[in-house]
Structure formats: C-alpha cells, structure tokens
Structure 1
Amino acid sequence: MLHRRLFAPALALICAAALSGCAREQAPAVEYTLLDGQKVSSKQWAGKVMVVNFWATSCATCVKEMPQIVATHEKYKARGLDTVAVAMSYDPPAFVSRFAETRKLPFGVAIDNTGNVANAFGPVQMTPTTFLINKRGEIVKRYVGEPDFAAFHELIEKLLAEA
C-alpha cells in the first residue's frame, strides 16, 4: 500500500514534466537561399520565434492559408517573430517568384530545389506543413494542414513572452 501512495505522485510529476515540453526537439541546422539571392542559415534564427512554412503554389490549402500566415507575420514581427516560406522542390521557381511578388509576401521565401530543407525537417511530405520554433531553436509544434490560427496566435504570444 505504501508503494502505491509514493508511486502515484511520482508518476504524476513525470507525466507533468513530459507534457511541459522539457525535452523538445531542436530544429535542424539548415541553409537556404531566398528569392532575392540572400543566403540564410538557421543559426540566424537564434533569439527569434520562427514560423517555417512548407508550401507549394499547387496546394489549394497553402494558397488559402497564406494571407493568414502574412497577417500573423505582420502582427508579431515587431515583437521578435520571423517567418520563412519554403517552397517544395517540385514547385516551379517561376511560379513561386510570381506568387511571392503578386501577393507581396513580407517575409523570406526560399525554394527548396534539392529537398534538403524538407528532408531535414522530417521529411516534410505534405503541404502545408508549418513548424513553430521557440527562441532557443526548439520545435514547439508541427502543424500538418492549416492551423487553427486563434490557437496558433495564443502559442506565439506565449513563446514571445519567454525569456
């Protein structure tokens, strides 16, 4: 009987620690080139909350959610959020460029020509897939499909408030 009384609280503490995200996966080290030719490394994400959105111009859900990704970026960029939209390797570069230009995407857009970035993150096989990364470079959440943007914003608020 004594063992059960001691075991239950210990188990509860272990479960609470696991749920708090104390052992989060580090975002992979990646390098990519933006449409403007700028070379970027994930090392430059340090100290920022990052939205990494894998998408394709041929993906209807990606096109539908992009205005909300833009609005999220605009809402939080002054507080330390940054965004990169990574076009999948099968997406024609001219289509990606045209999309980014006509929609005036206010964040970095990369074309993952080799698939290396998508492979480092999973591999990412479905679009849209969005990763939310905290200031310490840890993956906090992976969304496959369109996120619930109200909940997405709540989580971003929490991550921006972290030291």
Structure 2
Amino acid sequence: MLTRRLLAALCFAALAGCAKEPAPTVNYVLLDGSKASSQQWAGKVMLVNFWATSCATCVKEMPQIIATHGKFKDRGFDTLAVAMSYDPPAFVARFAETRKLPFGVAIDNTGAVANAFGPVQMTPTTFLINKRGEIVKRYVGEPDFAALHGLIEQLLNEA
C-alpha cells in the first residue's frame, strides 16, 4: 500500500514531464474601447494579472507590476490587467488613470476571461505565459517579484 507522501511524490514526478497548459483563447475590450484577443500575444512573454480595485493586495502590488512592465516591455514582454466582473468600471477607469497604468486594462464584465483561465476566483491571480502561448506559472496572491523577474528573463531568452 502506497503512503500518501509516496503517492504525492509519484504524481509530482509524473506531472513534471508533462507539456505546459496552453493559455486560453480569449477576446476582451480594453478601457479605451478597443477590442483585443489573446491571439495577439503570440511571440511575447505575457503577464496577465486578475485584480480588483477593492483588493488591498492588488492595489499594493500594482506599483511592482508597473515596474516589471517597464523593465521588460522593450524586450518582447507585455502586461494585461484584467479587472474582475464585480469591479465597478468607473472605479477601474479612475484607478488606471490616476496610477497611469502603462499597459492594457480590460474589464471582464461577464467573467468570461476569468472563467477561461481557471476559473479565477481570488485576486490577485497572475499568469505568466511564454512566447509559445503556454502558461508557465500561476500566482495566487502577490508574487515574489525578484523570482518573477528571473523567470521572465529566462522566458525572454528562449527561442
């Protein structure tokens, strides 16, 4: 009879060799009214951050997300902040304007984008996607930004 610990180790070992999960294909509307799609992410390393203006951790981490975007944006990296369906659009627009968010901000009015990614139920939840459109890492809560930057460097250096 296998112990739980051994069973967990075998499951982890089996999963380690598996292919990464592809990012879902989603369509969304940015704050400026323009329509966009995850298909536009091809060839880029993407950080997709699900957040809400009512989430204290989301507000706290946003300056670091802005800094991360600024550090890597000229090297094939992009960021999308997806506001949750329950976040009032006026609050999201005001937040994006007052904080001068330098990346795309989408309001997920129907919850379709969050559902496609999981579903995402807790904020912040952040996904790091490689150039091939595969989810490399999912963070629930604030990421360790130094480790995140190291992983972004690795992904940007991949062919």
The normalised TM-score by structure 2 is: 0.90
Task: Tell me which structure has the larger Cα radius of gyration.
Answer: 1
Write out per-residue CA displacement over residues 58-103 of structure 1, whole angstroms, 9 at most, x where no aligned residue: 0000000000000000000000100000000000000000000000
**Among 70, 74, 89, the residue aligned to 1:74:** 70
Tell me what 2:102 maps to.
106
One-letter identity of the residue aligned with 2:129: I
Write out per-residue CA displacement over residues 19-38 of structure 1, whole angstroms, 9 at most, x where no aligned residue: 36x51000000000000011
**Among 6, 19, 24, the residue aligned to 2:16:** 19
The yes-or-no answer on 1:153 pairing with 2:152 is no
Tell me what 2:84 maps to.
88
**Among 113, 117, 124, the residue aligned to 1:121:** 117
* C-alpha RMSD of matched pairs (Å): 1.5
Separation in structure 2 between the aligned mates of residue 83 and residue 140 of structure 1, nearest angstrom = 15
**Among 111, 134, 137, the residue aligned to 1:138:** 134
The normalised TM-score by structure 1 is: 0.88
Gaps of 5+ in 2: 1-12
Write out per-residue CA displacement over residues 5-49 of structure 1, whole angstroms, 9 at most, x where no aligned residue: xxxxxxxxxx4x8536x5100000000000001100000000000
Gaps of 5+ in 1: 1-14
Separation in structure 1 between the aligned mates of residue 105 and residue 74 of structure 2, nearest angstrom = 19
Separation in structure 1 between the aligned mates of residue 49 and residue 120 of structure 2, nearest angstrom = 10
Separation in structure 1 between the aligned mates of residue 15 and residue 132 of structure 2, nearest angstrom = 18
How many equivalent residue pairs? 149
Write out per-residue CA displacement over residues 105-143 of structure 1, whole angstroms, 9 at most, x where no aligned residue: 000000000000000000000000000000000000000
